[in-house]
């Protein structure tokens, strides 16, 4: 079995920044256990698997421990590979996903712009022990279907968090996302998903499906520049469009090769 593989640093203009994702191009779907083993072997926050269909590609994403229903940075990475390494001739790529329908990525200047669902949030009571788990008291906690936003008092607080990841893993959310107004960006964030084998995700596209509508409402503007202030860091250009969000970013190919399992 030979499978082409690329590793791409998404939401970054050059390698060694942003969020690394693996992209694997398949002729047809393999057993799920094989896909999961490949993702575990890659040991990146996500591996994207592609299979050609009549209008574009079927797309699935796996963390080192499980399949997820939405992933932004690995989708961006897949688009980078298809446009720049596979010579995709159209201005837009259609990705058919299992639970989120059709997602598209278009090339616009130097950015890859993803059309993703907007995920609304509702205020929730701050769970017991969350401040201790995060290492700081949130001003407010809001919940989407999968993720929790913890609104903090400023960018420096978000940057300096040293959460207790074992404690964070006890909560029921997919991803805990502390966020605050930014200094040089409209808003900043980080993302912790230890329940899914990801202690800290460097740049999280899917979290911006929640962050962009929230901050658009707070700041009263539709176009937002976001920065995820992880150690690697990454810039996300967001547009709130009602039931959809447009998430733009750059990407850089770090390696390409062949899996020979």
Report the mean per-residue pLDDT for the chain. 97
pLDDT digits (tens, 9 = 90+) for 211-232: 999 999 999 999 999 999 999 9
* pLDDT of 206: 95
**Annotation says 46 is catalytic:** yes
Q: Is the pLDDT of residue 1 over 90?
A: no
Q: Which one of the listed residues 46, 67, 200, 250 is annotated catalytic?
A: 46
pLDDT digits (tens, 9 = 90+) for 46-85: 999 999 999 999 999 999 999 999 999 999 999 999 999 9
Q: Which residues contact 187 (CB under 8 A, 6 or more apart)?
A: 179, 180, 181, 211, 215, 219, 224, 226
The stretch 26-48 carries a mean pLDDT of 97
Range 67-99 burial, b when 16+ CB lie within 10 A, else e: bbebbbbbbbbbbbbbbbeeebeeeebbbbbee
Q: Is the pLDDT of residue 106 over 90?
A: yes
DSSP structure string for 39-88 = HHHHTSS-EEEEEE-SSSEEEEEE-SS-EES--HHHHHHHHHHHHHTS--
pTM of the model as a whole: 0.94
Q: In Å, how far are 141, 174, 203, 213 from 243, measured between CA atoms?
A: 22, 21, 22, 9
């Amino acid at each position: 079995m030979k499978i082409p593989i690329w590793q791409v640093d998404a939401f970054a203009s050059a390698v060694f920044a942003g969020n690394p994702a693996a992209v694997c191009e398949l002729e047809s779907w393999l057993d799920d256990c094989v896909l999961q083993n490949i993702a575990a072997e890659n040991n990146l926050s996500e591996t994207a698997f592609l299979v050609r269909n009549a209008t574009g590609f079927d797309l699935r994403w796996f963390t080192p421990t499980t399949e997820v229903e939405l992933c932004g940075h690995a989708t961006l990475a897949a688009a980078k590979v298809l446009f720049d390494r596979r010579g995709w001739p159209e201005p837009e790529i259609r990705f058919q996903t299992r639970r989120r329908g059709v997602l598209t990525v278009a090339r616009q200047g130097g950015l890859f712009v993803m059309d993703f669902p907007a995920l609304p949030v509702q205020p929730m009571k701050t769970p017991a022990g969350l401040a201790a788990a995060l290492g700081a008291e949130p001003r407010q906690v809001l919940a989407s279907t999968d993720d929790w936003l913890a609104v903090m008092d400023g960018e420096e607080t978000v940057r300096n968090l040293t959460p207790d990841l074992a404690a964070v893993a006890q909560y029921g959310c997919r991803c805990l996302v502390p966020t605050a107004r930014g200094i040089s960006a409209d808003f900043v964030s980080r993302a912790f998903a230890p329940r899914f084998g990801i202690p800290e995700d460097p740049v999280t596209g899917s979290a911006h499906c929640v962050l962009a509508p929230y901050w658009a409402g707070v700041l009263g503007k539709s176009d937002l520049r976001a920065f995820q202030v992880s150690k690697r860091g990454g810039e996300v250009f967001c547009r709130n469009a009602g039931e959809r969000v447009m998430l733009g970013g750059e990407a850089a190919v770090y390696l390409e090769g062949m899996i020979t399992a």
